[in-house]
């Protein structure tokens, strides 16, 4: 009876690696996995994620299965065997200190390049857009025809970020009030917006389409409401869109659209 109980507990602990691996194995097929990556640099992050997943997965399975095995095999209910009177093993200590240390150090060094690419090696291009986080929206400002930010012909928009595809873009990230964070899940980009600082964020999209902008730093009650959308279009289309927005911004007569849109305003 006691043996059965011991087996039950052993199996419970075995369920940990089994169900753990199963969860991760099933997740991609139920669409609970890394979102689609449309950035040029994202593969570096994703491949690192998978590498670490594989490495930790192996360690996870090995240690959890060992734990299960020891519980199963060394159950007191199994018999009258006495426990092994041992205080440790110098060899084992060396092995399981040196190997993990080397692995971890290797991991750290291996990733430095990816980090530098995303955060340190800024391209020498003028800002494509200024994104200012504010409770609770993303205020966007594009340089106008004069190519300079901070002049009268700038184009001001809210939440609806358009950017050219297949081009390196530079976002000048600021905050008007409290901390926010500019998170583009589909481009593997995240950067806190700090009031009083101006932080460059650069990336390149490889596909057209519309994707989420999420605020990733608590900024107050409306933190969840700071939904933006980034849309990537071809450069000519982007220029056209910008012109259109500029014209709308300079309107001196009410616009009249039909079919569900603004009718006179």
Task: Please list every residue from 32 through 91 that binds other proteins, using CB under 8 A.
Answer: 32-35, 44-45, 48-49, 52-53, 55-56, 59-60, 63-64, 66-67, 70-71, 74-76, 81-89
DSSP conformational letter for 86 = -
Of the candidates 238, 221, 239, the residue with the CA atom closest to the CA atom of residue 230: 238
Nearer to other proteins, 88 or 236 (CB): 88
Kindly state whether residue 207 participates in binding other proteins, applying the rule CB under 8 A: no
Q: Is the peptide bond before 136 cis (omega within 30 degrees of 0)?
A: yes
CB of 166 to other proteins, least distance (A): 22
Nearest 5°: the CA angle 206, 212, 216 is: 115
Residue from 21, 40, 111, 144 that binds other proteins (CB under 8 A)? Answer: 111
The answer to whether residues 68 and 8 touch, using CB atoms and an 8 Å cutoff, is no
Of residues 154-193, which lie at the interface with other proteins (CB under 8 A)?
156, 158-160, 172, 176-179, 181, 183, 185-186, 188-193
Q: How many chain residues bind other proteins (CB under 8 A)? A: 131
Of residues 216-245, which lie at the interface with other proteins (CB under 8 A)?
216-229
Strands (E), 112-245: 129-134, 137-142, 155-158, 160-164, 168-175, 180-184, 189-193, 199-204, 209-215, 228-233
Structure tokens of 2?
A: 């006691």
Is residue 33 helix, strand or coil?
coil
Nearer to other proteins, 189 or 236 (CB): 189
Kindly state whether residue 104 participates in binding other proteins, applying the rule CB under 8 A: yes
Nearer to other proteins, 100 or 234 (CB): 100
């Amino acid at each position: 009876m006691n043996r059965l109980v011991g087996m039950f507990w052993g199996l419970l602990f075995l369920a940990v690696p089994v169900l753990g691996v199963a969860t991760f194995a099933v997740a991609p097929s139920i669409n609970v996995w890394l979102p689609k990556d449309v950035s040029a640099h994202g593969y570096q992050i994703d491949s690192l994620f998978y590498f670490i997943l594989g490495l930790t997965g192996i360690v996870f399975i090995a240690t959890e299965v060992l734990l299960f095995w020891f519980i199963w095999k060394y159950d007191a209910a199994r018999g009258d065997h006495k426990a092994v009177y041992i205080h440790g093993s110098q060899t084992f200590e060396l092995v399981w200190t040196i190997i993990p240390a080397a692995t971890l150090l290797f991991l750290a060094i291996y990733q430095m390049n990816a980090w530098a690419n995303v955060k340190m090696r800024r391209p020498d291009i003028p800002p494509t857009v200024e994104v200012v986080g504010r409770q609770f929206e993303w205020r966007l400002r594009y340089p106008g025809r004069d190519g300079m930010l901070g002049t009268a012909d700038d184009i001001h928009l809210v939440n609806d970020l358009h950017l050219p595809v297949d081009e390196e873009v530079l976002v000048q990230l600021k905050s008007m009030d409290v901390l926010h964070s500019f998170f583009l899940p589909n481009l593997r980009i995240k950067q806190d917006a700090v009031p009083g600082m101006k932080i460059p964020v650069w990336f390149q999209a490889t596909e057209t389409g519309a994707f989420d902008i999420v605020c990733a730093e608590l900024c107050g009650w409306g933190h969840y409401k700071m939904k933006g959308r980034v849309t990537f279009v071809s450069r000519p289309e982007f220029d056209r869109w910008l012109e259109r927005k500029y014209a709308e911004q300079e309107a001196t007569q009410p616009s009249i659209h039909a079919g569900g849109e603004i009718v006179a305003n």
